[in-house]
């Protein structure tokens, strides 16, 4: 009887020891996995750079408020850096610029003025030529410039420049406007009119002086006869 009781007790103890070892092993494995996962997540957060801010409108990427024809504005790459907006693609400083777009060449009452649009390229300055000869250089942020007076029909061109080279030219023929011709004609006519008036005054003065002299001579002759 004692032997049977001892055998049953031994079997129960062995069963309890075997069943208790499974939770212990599983528990250690589960904890190790959680620690590794947490460490990996922390590592990702520490090393992955944050995405730059990007302005959006209705969930779509927003284009930068930049126009190639607008004068003295913030460069598009600076706008993109500060706001996260999208710029049109441009060629870099290591390539010669693309051709600018010369829009107008006109007389504004005191000088011939050009307006152009910048190319989608890195530009440091613009060169303007008149009749094939270099006339003036303008800064890279400018989109217009005055050339002074041009009184004849000629070809006016603008080219973009950077450290890598110079672009092809964009050109237009400049022809003095009718208003300028009328102004010139008016000035010439006014000058001629003033000259004629002065001549008339001189002639009248000389005529009057001559009559006065004739009258004096006539009076002297009459007095001698008496």
pLDDT digits (tens, 9 = 90+) for 164-217: 999 999 999 999 875 455 556 667 778 888 888 888 888 888 888 887 777 776
Q: How many domains does the chain have?
A: 2
In a shared domain, residues 187 and 125: no
**Domain annotation covers residue 108:** yes
Closest CA to 156 of 170, 177, 142, 146: 170
Q: Pairing mode, if any, of strands 144-146 and 56-57?
A: unpaired
In a shared domain, residues 163 and 129: yes
Domain extent for 118? 101-176
Q: Are 152 and 175 in contact (CB under 8 A)?
A: no
Token digits for 157?
């061109």
pTM, rounded to two decimals: 0.55
Cα–Cα distance list, 225 to 75, 144, 212, 214 (Å):
101, 85, 20, 17
In a shared domain, residues 105 and 172: yes
Rounded distance, CA 218 to CA 195, Å?
Answer: 35
pLDDT, one tens digit per residue, over 31-80 is 333 333 333 334 344 333 333 445 455 667 788 888 999 988 888 888 88
Q: Of 16-25, 126-135, 192-201, where does the model show the most confidence?
A: 126-135
Q: Which one has a higher pLDDT value, 74 or 104?
A: 104
In a shared domain, residues 158 and 200: no
Q: Are 147 and 113 in contact (CB under 8 A)?
A: yes
**Domain annotation covers residue 38:** no
**Domain annotation covers residue 199:** yes
Q: What pLDDT shows up at residue 28?
A: 35
Which stretches does DSSP call E strand in 20-176?
56-57, 60-61, 101-107, 112-117, 125-130, 133-139, 144-146, 154-162, 165-166, 170-174
């Amino acid at each position: 009887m004692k032997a049977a009781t001892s055998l049953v007790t031994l079997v129960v103890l062995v069963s309890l020891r075997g069943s208790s070892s499974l939770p212990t092993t599983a528990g250690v494995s589960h904890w190790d996995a959680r620690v590794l996962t947490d460490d990996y997540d922390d590592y990702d957060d520490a090393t992955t750079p944050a995405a730059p801010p990007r302005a959006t409108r209705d969930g779509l990427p927003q284009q930068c408020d930049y126009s190639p024809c607008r004068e003295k504005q913030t460069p598009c790459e600076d706008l993109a850096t500060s706001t996260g907006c999208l710029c049109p693609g441009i060629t870099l400083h290591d390539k010669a610029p693309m051709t600018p777009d010369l829009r107008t060449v006109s007389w504004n009452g005191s000088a011939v003025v050009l307006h152009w649009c910048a190319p989608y390229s890195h530009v440091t300055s613009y060169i303007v030529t008149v009749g094939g000869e270099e006339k003036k250089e303008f800064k890279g942020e400018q989109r217009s410039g005055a050339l002074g007076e041009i009184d004849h029909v000629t070809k006016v061109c603008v080219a973009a420049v950077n450290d890598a080279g110079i672009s092809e030219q964009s050109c237009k023929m400049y022809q003095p406007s009718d208003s300028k011709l009328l102004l010139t004609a008016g000035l010439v006519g006014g000058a001629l009119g003033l000259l004629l008036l002065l001549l008339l005054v001189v002639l009248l003065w000389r005529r009057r002086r001559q009559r006065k002299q004739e009258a004096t001579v006539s009076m002297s002759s009459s007095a001698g006869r008496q």
